[in-house]
Amino acid sequence: MEAYELTVTQALERLQRGELSCEEWTRACLDRARAVDGRVRAFVQLDEDGALASAREADAARKAGAQAPLLGAPIAIKDNMHIKGRKTTCSSKMLENFTAPFDATVVAKLRDAGAVFLGKTNLDEFAMGSSTENSAFFTTRNPWNLDYVPGGSSGGSAASVAAYETPFALGSDTGGSIRQPAAFCGIYGLKPTYGRVSRYGLVAFGSSLDQIGPLARNVEDIALLLNVISGKDPRDSTSSDIPAPDFTQALGRGVKGLRLGIPKEYFVEGVDPEVKSAVHQAIDRLCAQGAEAVEVSLPHTEYAISVYYICCTAEASSNLARYDGAQYGHSAAGSENIVELFTRTRSEAFGKEVKRRIMLGTYVLSAGFYDAYYLKALKVRTLLQRDFERAFEQCDVIVTPPVPTPAFRAGERIDDPLQMYLGDIFTISVNLAGVPALCCPAGFNAAGLPLSVQLIAPIFSEERLIQTASVHQELWRDKNIRALQI
């Protein structure tokens, strides 16, 4: 097995035994990235010199007896999180030349834990999209079939992990932007409870919905990374002071007596038969290990798309107002007055999807439509939250498809935004309710594209997700062995 193929758990064990050095591990990942990223295009920035220097420092620290949970572990960061002194572009022309003045809290925590930053990964511009085709720079490709999208908006992070360019990565999830690309790329992706992980240093899209989370090739590495990035942050007023447990302790607990909630609203017409079959097989296998399946209802699911695209666009309209050409980022040259500066800057530097969402958000927040749209959406959002609360009175974990279909071809939906939005139907309710959810690989379809299952738990119950996923992982390990085509 090549060093780049190792999981974080495996590699850390080899480092401890002296069978591998941090520099060797990092160099193997960089060599892999050089070999395949010309086709996958997961990275916006690959910091080879910085990564190797950090790896050598980690080797020296290990020899000196230093102890840190991720000492020497290479990681990729979605390019909407700040790393001091490096560009944060959000894959937008607006921030193409912006250099971050500080570390995001998650980056600072990773730095303290000894992680090595390989580089920044591509995303849909300002995290607005479901295919990474909305990047201002280039489209990332699915490592399982380069004609297909990797999902979005964290498509670069998911593709880099699936293509073995990095053992794990950070993404952000506003309406499914970790879980949907994890599903399309056949890896694990966790959206934590809102408030579990600090958002300080994450460029805001929808502030009541955004959450940072891990992507990895196994659930053990998800737990390791979540341990490091979780916790209260005084710089983020929305971060929770509920103590984070050691999530690795949930591994291997088994699922005997666990009640699996099966929401009837998530198995409707329009869901790909192979997607349905993969989820039902996962349920059956978990039940064979002692879990119990019970039907639950999330009756307001049909309104989730409408509610989400009102709430997130309203928040995006407010958050993106700061990009005006007067403070930082792109500034239109030759403007004769402030109005022309604002107009030309935003027209030149924002892409089509970002403009669409700003206009939608501005519309629903306008005086004549605020009550009819935004206020009503907030009320229905409360109903969606109560749906989950009632469902969790009957079950411990909800099991659903993460997406209605496997990955689709690049270009297939880019000119049909409504069809693109409908692909988020099974992920957005989780963000609206603030609950945690984990996407897990569940084999492949007849075309060789990954299939997945989504696990949802009550707020601050990520341990339950990891507990269930670790059993699922063992049951499906043989079905997830397939050679990449790159």
Give dist(CA 150, CA 159) in Å, integer.
6
**Rounded CA separation 320/95 (Å):** 12
Of 21, 54, 78, 230, the active-site residue reads 78
Q: Looking at this protein, which amino acid is placed at residue 102? A: F
Q: How far apart are CA 275 and CA 70, in angstroms?
A: 35
**Residue-wise DSSP of 325-353:** SSSSS---TT-SSHHHHHHHHHHHHS-HH
Closest CA to 200 of 294, 332, 105, 309: 105
* Closest by CA position to 272, among listed 69, 408, 432, 455: 408
Buried b (16+ CB within 10 A) or exposed e, 78-93: bbbbbbeebbbbbbbb
Active-site residue 277, yes or no? Answer: no
Say whether 232 is catalytic.
no
DSSP codes of every residue in 76-107 = EEETTB--TTSB--TTSGGGTT-B-SS--HHH
Phi, psi of 448 (to 5 degrees): 85, 15
Name the token pair of 100. 């971050």
Alpha carbon separation from 422 to 79, 309, 354, 359, 431 (Å, rounded): 25, 11, 18, 19, 15
Distances from the Cα of 127 to the Cα of 54, 80, 316, 342, 362, angstroms:
28, 8, 10, 22, 18
Taking the C-alpha atoms of residue 334 and residue 340, their distance in angstroms, rounded to an integer, is: 9
Taking CA atoms, 327 is separated from 201, 219, 400, 457, in Å, by 18, 42, 44, 41
Among 177, 239, 240, 317, the one annotated catalytic: 177
Number of other residues whose CB lies within 10 A of the CB of residue 178: 33
User: How big is the chain, counted in residues?
Assistant: 486
Measured between alpha carbons, how far is 437 from 456 in angstroms, rounded to an integer?
4
Q: Cβ distance 410 to 131 under 8 Å?
A: yes
Catalytic (active site) residue 153? yes
Which residue is catalytic, options 21, 92, 130, 153?
Answer: 153
User: Which residues are annotated as catalytic?
Assistant: 78, 153, 177
